[in-house]
Amino acid sequence: MNDSHRTIREQLGAYLLGGLTAPEETALGAHLDGCPDCRAELDDLRPVADALAGVAPQDLAHAPAPPPFLIERVLDEVRRTPRPAAAPPRRRAPLLVAAAVVVAALVGGGVGFIAGTGPDAPREAVAVRTLAGGVQASATVIPHTWGIEITLDADGFTAGTPYRVVVIDDAGRTVGAGEFLGTGADPMVCNLNTSVLRAQAAGFDVLDPDGRVVVHGEL
Ligand SMILES: [Zn+2]
């Protein structure tokens, strides 16, 4: 990777979060026009920035704190990154650290998935079927020693309506996994926890207030 690629890649996160100056954006745009590799990198980062854009400040207040090892790792990375002699004002590193910490908080136990390594087992993609018009949903599952954690990434649930999530075990029992309010067209990412262990979990249902299945996931 030559120096200009390196500089550009360091700026991609800040760019997606709207943190670059106008001249920096112009330079970055010019480089991206001619560099498919950096464009691909930008595409990889985009979902993270989109997830951040969907975060309401009041949700952050209740987000679980990221584990200390992750904060340390992010700070180490920042400390070890060599700075060019004539560096522009350092305003983007804190922004990216903040972004990394927010992402870590959002994914909770799924830190390993974003960071590539970690104490948790990997996230597992779940086959999801939606049974209500307008609802779009995808889900992943993390097996824990205490049960499973389901992350539901969705939009189209009726705004303000409470939905209940149950996990179905292999004996056909349904066990509560929590509730959430629909957010309409706004995308939501919702973590749901249940005591059913991965080995016994057969699927999960999202139920509307009338008990109708709106989304079904196969586990
Ligand atoms: Zn490049």
Q: What is the pLDDT of residues 85-100, one digit of tens each?
A: 544 544 455 556 666 6
Instruction: State the pLDDT at residue 168.
Output: 95
Count of CA atoms in the C-beta half-sphere (13 A) of 138? 5
What integer is the mean pLDDT of 171-181? Answer: 93
The dihedral through the CA atoms of 75, 188, 139, 48 has a sign that is negative
Q: What is the pLDDT of residues 22-77, one digit of tens each?
A: 998 999 999 999 999 899 988 888 887 777 766 665 565 555 566 666 666 666 66
Instruction: State the pLDDT at residue 9.
Output: 85
Q: What is the phi/psi pair of residue 198, to 5°?
A: -55, -45
Distance, CA 39 to ligand 1 centroid (Å)? 7
Distance, CA 9 to ligand 1 centroid (Å)? 7
**Domain end point (choices 115, 142, 159):** 115
Distance, CA 34 to ligand 1 centroid (Å)? 8
Asked if residue 90 and residue 137 are part of one domain, the reply reads: no
Instruction: State the pLDDT at residue 4.
Output: 77
Distance between CA 71 and CA 20 in Å, rounded? 24
**Domain end point (choices 70, 86, 115):** 115
Q: Is the pLDDT of residue 182 over 60?
A: yes
Asked if residue 99 and residue 128 are part of one domain, the reply reads: no
Asked if residue 148 and residue 203 are part of one domain, the reply reads: yes
Domain span including residue 83? 3-115
Distance, CA 116 to ligand 1 centroid (Å)? 23
Asked if residue 205 and residue 146 are part of one domain, the reply reads: yes
* Total domain count, the chain: 2
Asked if residue 102 and residue 71 are part of one domain, the reply reads: yes
Distance, CA 174 to ligand 1 centroid (Å)? 51
Asked if residue 49 and residue 17 are part of one domain, the reply reads: yes
Q: Is the pLDDT of residue 217 over 50?
A: yes
Token output for 112: 């390993």
Written as one letter, the residue type at 80 is: R
Distance, CA 76 to ligand 1 centroid (Å)? 25
**Domain end point (choices 64, 96, 115):** 115
What CATH number has the domain bearing residue 184? 2.60.40.770
Distance, CA 30 to ligand 1 centroid (Å)? 10
Asked if residue 101 and residue 151 are part of one domain, the reply reads: no
Q: What is the mean pLDDT of the chain?
A: 79
Instruction: State the pLDDT at residue 16.
Output: 85
